[in-house]
Chain A
Amino acid sequence: MKKIFLIFGLALFVIGCGNQNEYLAKGKELIKSDKRRKEERAVREFKLAIEQESDNAEAHYLLGFYDSQEFYEVDQSAWNQASIAQRGQHMFKAYQEDPGEYLEILIFDTLRDDDVNVQKAALEALTLVYQKGDRKQLLKQLQKAIKSKDNRDRHDAHWVMANIGTSDPTTMVPILIELLKHNQVGTRLNAIKALGEIGSEDAIPILAALIESGSAKRKRDREEPEVRQLAVLALGKIGGKAVPELVKITQNKGSSLRVDAIRALSTLGDEKAVQPLLDALKEKSSREVVVKLRN
């Protein structure tokens, strides 16, 4: 959070302090203080700030960030306004007022917050950006995040991409598939996780090829074991048409991923898995075989 304030501080300094919204200033002061129930009191100030100045980006953002249903009685109108969706709306409003600033803040800062509800509100806001805002810019930033050196950024980006991709796979799935070529393992891992969560059957052939790459002739053509393992789990999440691929893996006796594939099949409950599993049980156990060579 400190970083945000620094950014805000600088921004305000540049704009000039003269016309800062009084309520907003008070709210921010409260957040910085160690007063009791400071967030709850700050939220009141942010609401007043918006009343006075309905296009104040910072006030909207901070209201979205700090408001919480815990402050109110259930079913009060304020309680309803503090829902995740409403908080996301406020964050989105901040984005609308200042897209350049807030898109980056939402992706690289807000998603990182420890509070799950803040993360969800940011997801809500980013989904709105996808639907109504600058989609191209959003996708660019998400790809930047999933390619980041920082694992947290990659994880957050995968989460947003998976969620957006679930409602609109046709745009997101090709992007994620393209990311499977990225040279950073962490990026590929997160792209695969997102593909699994989206559950799009379009990803099946690519995932299958990636899993199969373990037996490639040259080592450099082989995908990392952990990525391949995750690809099996992703097939398990996709289910349906992925079942035959999973069955194929369980039948490849040289594959290290047989156990993973079997586990994935066991949760899918598909009848097609039964016979291959019964066959696996019939495989020979440890033994000694005497071989006579013919010369």
Chain B
Amino acid sequence: MFRDIPIILILSILVFALGCENHYYDEHLKMEVQQLDSDLENRWSTSGVVVKAITQNGPADAAKLTPGELISYIIGEYPIQSPREFTRAVKKAMADDNNMLLYLKGKQPLRIAVRKIGDKVGLEVEGSGSVRIKEIVPGTPAANSDVIQVGDVVEKIVDERKIHSLNDYKKTVNEFSKLNANLTFRTTELIGVKIAAVTALGNLGDARAVESLIEILKNSKELALRKAASRSLERLVALSELNPLFQQFQQENANQLPADTLDSQQRESAEILGLLLTDPAANITTLEAPFGIQFRHRSEALYQKVNEGALVELAEQYIQITTEPEQEIRRACLSILGTLSPISAIEPLIKVLRDQNEIPGIRFQAGLALSQIGTPAVDALMTAFNESDTAAKDIAASALGTIGGTQARDFLINALETTDDPAVQLTLVDAIAKIGDEFALSALERQRQRFQEDDSAIRIFLDEVFSSLTTPFQ
């Protein structure tokens, strides 16, 4: 009992001494690593050490490690050339976590795990230069695997070590370097940081962010990050659309303007985005500090950048389900196209509208974007109506109703008078009612005559439409 005390004392001093440091210069790799913040582990279930600085021309530099990378695993490979090496490698590999990867020539790598430290793996080997399995001990993990056979050539043993602390790092690198193992570092991306950065860049409304966000949306392998990028781009586009409004403030070089000198629609959008506040009684619109005030200086640059074309091109691609499987991103891209309303988007949008593999909500959103484009989209919408399934007819008719104008109106009236599909009739009535001019109303009146005797849904709907048109305030 008592003789243990000095050992415990020494150990605790050792632990204390080691635990104190939170930087470490690794002489083997010629780089400085740093312990993660004490509380970082709990937050993103990450662990490891961070590369702090790298000495030029050292092994770490040659391997192209970069400062800031988080090393979470160190993987050592032991080439096996003798039975002694085999025994030692197995012992080492099993030491920490009771499992290892065994590479046999011509076979898939095999994970071998024992229940507790000291348990035998159950393999005997022979040979020198190249080592073969001599014996498989019955009742061991090796015997339980039906892959291993006597005579198999052992290529190497791979040991994966999870790195929790600076001590783990030191111990593992020292051990591996002594054993002449080949080292691989597996690094972890702190995805939370990037998502936060992407979101922040969307909020900051700065033109410089556009290219980076496009790049992430196109090339990142992290879905969560791509989603965040699409949301941020959507916001940047929404912000850029307010440029005329912010230019008014910029020209006056003021953070306050009379509310009635500003476009009311833009003012409301900006209010929803939290950029300004309007006091209707005093007729004063004030830019909100800090962002609204800061943004007026950046608005023009953002507007230019957003309208350079790259963003539209990207959105036109990524609204297609064949390109982008994630619906949230497709939705964001649809919203971008709706806001920017480029003529070039008509064709890809019609494709989405007609795509029967697409979910209805997104097809509908494509219709919405087309109605935002307005008159130039009328021809394409009419064609879509004539050629497509009921769902697409529905959306196209609704979009045409929103756009309005003589051409759309006459087309819808004609369609209503010639179709027999009750579902389509309902949509058409609704669309025509939205246009609501004299011609539209008389067309609807004609329909009411036509279905007078009827007790169908369309009659009831027509009655409703008329009662709401004649008593608009109820």
A-side interface residues toward B, CB under 8 Å?
Answer: 214-219, 222, 225, 228, 239, 250, 253-259, 262-263, 265-271, 273-275, 277-278, 280-281, 283-295
Which B residues lie at the A interface, using CB under 8 A?
A: 19-22, 28-29, 34-40, 42-43, 50, 52, 59-60, 62-70, 75, 176-177, 180, 182-190, 192-194, 196-201, 203-206, 208-209, 212, 216, 220-222, 290-295, 297-298
23 A-B pairs with C-beta separation under 8 A: A214-B39, A215-B22, A217-B21, A225-B38, A228-B39, A254-B37, A256-B40, A258-B196, A265-B200, A266-B199, A267-B290, A271-B298, A273-B204, A274-B201, A274-B204, A277-B204, A280-B193, A281-B198, A287-B187, A289-B64, A290-B184, A291-B60, A293-B183
Q: Are A291 and B196 in contact (CB under 8 A)?
A: no
Residue in chain A with minimal CB distance to B298: A271
Cβ-defined partner of B197 (8 Å) among A222, A267, A277, A285: A277
Contact partners of B70 in chain A: CB under 8 A = 253
**When chains A and B are docked, how far (Å) is the Cα of A286 from the Cα of B187?**
5
Q: Which residues of A contact B39 (CB under 8 A)?
A: 214, 225, 228, 256
- Are B36 and A254 in touch, CB under 8 angstroms? yes
Q: How many angstroms from the CA of A91 to the CA of B295 in the assembled complex? A: 45
A262 and B59 in contact, given A256-B36, A291-B185 (Cβ under 8 angstroms): no
Q: Which residue of the partner chain, among B40, B66, B177, B200, contacts A254 with CB atoms under 8 Å?
A: B40
Kindly list chain B residues whose C-beta atoms are within 8 Å of the C-beta of A277: 197, 200-201, 204, 209
Do the beta carbons of B187 and A269 come within 8 Å of each other?
Answer: no
With contacts A270-B294, A271-B294, A289-B185 taken as known, whether A222 is within 8 angstroms of B38 at the C-beta atoms is yes
Closest chain B residue, CB of each to CB of A252: B37
Q: Which of A216, A222, A228, A291 has the most B CB atoms < 10 Å from its CB? A: A291
Report the Cα distance A126→B84, complex, angstroms.
81
Task: With CB as the reference atom, state the residue of chain B lying closest to A218.
Answer: B20
Nearest CB on B from A83, distance (A) = 20
Contact B59 A266 (CB under 8 A): no
Cα separation A217 to B189 with both chains bound (whole Å):
25
* C-alpha spacing A219/B39, complex, angstroms: 11
Q: Is the CB of A274 within 8 A of B206?
A: yes
Which residues of chain A are near B198, meaning CB under 8 Å?
A: 281
A266 to B38, CA, bound (A): 25
| A293 close to B187 (CB less than 8 A) | no
Least CB distance from B107 to A in Å reads 22
- In the complex, the answer to whether A288 meets B294 with C-beta atoms within 8 Å is no
Contacts of B67 in A (CB 8 A): 253
Chain B interface mostly: mixed
| Chain A residue with Cβ nearest B62 | A292
The CA of A215 and the CA of B180, in the complex, are separated in Å by 33
Is A275 touching B208 in the complex (CB atoms < 8 A)? yes
CB A264 to nearest CB in B, in angstroms, measures 9
Not counting A266-B201, A281-B198, A281-B212, a sample of 8 additional A-B residue pairs whose C-beta atoms are within 8 angstroms of each other reads: A256-B40, A269-B292, A271-B204, A278-B201, A289-B63, A291-B59, A291-B63, A292-B183
- Per a CB cutoff under 8 Å, which of B21, B59, B203 touches A292? B59
Contact B290 A239 (CB under 8 A): yes
How far, in whole Å, are A280 and B190 apart by their CA atoms in the complex? 10
Q: How far is the CA of A119 from the CA of B91 in the complex (A)?
A: 68
Q: How far is the CA of A257 from the CA of B193 in the complex (A)?
A: 9
A269 touches B201 (CB 8 A): no
Please tell me if the beta carbons of B180 and A266 are within 8 angstroms of each other in the complex. Answer: no
Among all A-B residue pairs, the 4 with the closest Cβ atoms = A266-B200, A269-B291, A225-B39, A256-B40
Please measure, in the bound complex, the distance between the C-alpha atom of A294 and the C-alpha atom of B59, giving whole angstroms: 7
- Contact call A285/B208, Cβ cutoff below 8 A: no
Q: Are A292 and B200 in contact (CB under 8 A)?
A: no
Cβ B291 vs Cβ A267 within 8 A: yes
Is there an interface contact between A214 and B200, defined as CB atoms closer than 8 Å? no
Bound together, the chains give a CA A215 to CA B75 distance in angstroms of: 27
Determine the chain B residues whose CB is within 8 A of the CB of A267 once the complex forms. Answer: 203, 290-291
A254 to B37, CA, bound (A): 6
Query: Which A residues are CB-close (under 8 A) to B203?
Result: 266-267, 269
Contacts of B200 in A (CB 8 A): 262-263, 265-266, 273, 277
Residues of B with C-beta under 8 A to A259: 192-193, 196
Inter-chain CA distance A217–B37, complex, in Å, is: 11
**Contact across chains for B65 and A289 when beta carbons are under 8 A apart:** yes
Of B20, B180, B196, B297, most buried by chain A (CB within 10 Å of CB) is B196
- Which residues of A lie under 8 Å from residue B21 when comparing CB positions? 217
Per the bound structure, the CA–CA distance linking A259 and B39 in Å amounts to 13
- Report the minimal beta-carbon distance from A255 to chain B, rounded to whole angstroms: 5
Report Cα–Cα, A14/B451, bound state, in Å.
90
Q: Name the contact of A268 in the complex, choosing from B38, B190, B290 (C-beta under 8 A).
A: B290
From B37, B64, B208, A214 is in contact (CB under 8 Å) with B37
Separation of A265 and B176 alpha carbons in the complex (Å): 43
B189 and A278 contact, CB distance less than 8 A: no
Please pick, from A250, A266, A281, A283, the residue contacting B204 in the complex, using a CB distance under 8 A: A266
Minimum distance in angstroms from A253 CB to a CB of chain B: 4
